[in-house]
Amino acid sequence: SNMTETDIQQVLAHLPENFSMRDINDACVKCGLPSLAQGMIELPPPEILRRIAAEVAMDGSVHQYRSRAGETEALEAVHKLLRLHYGTPSAPGSVLMTQGVTSAVLATLLWVRS
């Protein structure tokens, strides 16, 4: 089932000021709603993934920092996907790209809370 704005406000009311994904999960459970916390909070990533990440991180030619506004080509691709696949035109600056679902959920909840 889809969460309503009232459901989201109920979850927000149960969150401490500096909340974490664990807090989001606990608030959703307390409210009887599907958890907005993504991933397996208590389990580490698979060892093979950690080994690959460690190798890439040690490669001096790799630079992990990217544009804070998002890569132009990626943003254009998202706008095109929204328009062509979903029939939803989007204005420049209306798409926020994050480093993962945790950042996206937190950014959304902080925006809703403001």
pTM to 2 decimals?
0.41
Cα separation, 114 vs 111, in Å, equals: 5
- DSSP for 72-112 reads HHHHHHHHHHHHHTT-----TT-----SSHHHHHHHHHHHH
Query: Residue 84: pLDDT band by 50, 70, 90 thresholds?
Result: very high
Q: Highest-confidence range of 2-11, 15-24, 28-37, 83-92, by mean pLDDT?
A: 83-92
